[in-house]
Amino acid sequence: MESLKRKVVDTDTIESASGSSSSSAPSKIRKIDDVGAEFKELRRLMELAPDQIGSTAAEFHGHFDKIAMYLMNSVAMVVNDKHYYRLVEIEFYLNGGKHLDVFTHSDKDQKTCGEWYFHKMNGSYKGGSYKGLDITFGRHDTCFGGILVRGIQLSNDPMAIIIEGPCLVVDQVLKHTNSKMIINLVDNASFSKSTFSETSLLRIVPTKQKIIRPLIKCPRYKINAKNKMNQPKKKKKKKKKKKKKTEHTHKNKDTKTQKHKNTSKKKKKDKTRKTT
């Protein structure tokens, strides 16, 4: 019987090549977390704890670069077994060890490795324009990690429109899987959290890439603005402005008061005259 082998996708032609090997032993269904030789290096990189990566910014950046090169040049994201996308923009979030990142969600799901994590708030999936999808690379004992998928493009068409933005990426996944909401997809029996699953509605597969694209690196999107937004606003004490009473004001007031007194006296006199 033929042993199971992962298909390797040529992202330029979407022609997949699968190898087979004859064996007298009965075929075994591979476990979800058994990713095979194609993903061993990627999995090894993603599973490293922060203290194994290093302690300096340069060491962490170098580590992220290695994972990014693999994900953006050697992997295709497959949706519903029909739609093949390459990852064109990703962001790294890691919180643990010497790499403290307050912007990581630090959800318990981000302590896993090689799983899909749809963004949550208070235990519920985010909706509207706040939706997002990560590939996790955390560890249950040391850190939270998520690689945010910010942009995808159909892999068989270099001129295809780039779907840009975390929310739009999730919308595309929901559209291709006929899911109204994230919960509908996650609860689907054909969906697996493992990014390395061979049968899930959403998964990644290795590609036979002809071109190695260089990485273009930049700061994470809107992090500075978010940082400012998260800072507690200092309450300013409103100082009561003391009105300066000028001599002119006093004169006017006194004049008005004096005039009022004079008028009252006059009225009294008039009234007295009338009654007399």
Query: Where do the domains of the chain lie?
Result: 8-212
pLDDT at res. 33: 43
| Residue numbers in the chain where pLDDT is lower than 50 | 1-35, 225-234, 247, 249-251, 253, 255, 270, 272-276
pLDDT at res. 92: 93
Which of these, 100, 186, 182, 192, lies nearest to 145 by C-alpha position?
Answer: 100
pLDDT at res. 242: 58
Q: Are β-strands 120-121 and 144-154 bridged in parallel, bridged antiparallel, or unpaired?
A: unpaired
pLDDT at res. 14: 39
pLDDT at res. 184: 97
pLDDT at res. 228: 40
In whole angstroms, what is the distance from residue 230 CA to residue 243 CA?
A: 38
Which of these, 33, 35, 51, 41, lies nearest to 143 by C-alpha position?
Answer: 51
pLDDT at res. 29: 31
pLDDT at res. 240: 59
pTM of the model: 0.68
pLDDT at res. 40: 83
Residues 6+ apart with CB under 8 A from 35: 42, 43, 114, 196
- Cα dihedral: 245, 251, 256, 261 (round 10): 110
Which of these, 120, 153, 154, 155, lies nearest to 134 by C-alpha position?
Answer: 120
User: Hey, what are 113's tokens?
Assistant: 């490795």
CB 207 within 8 A of CB 61: no
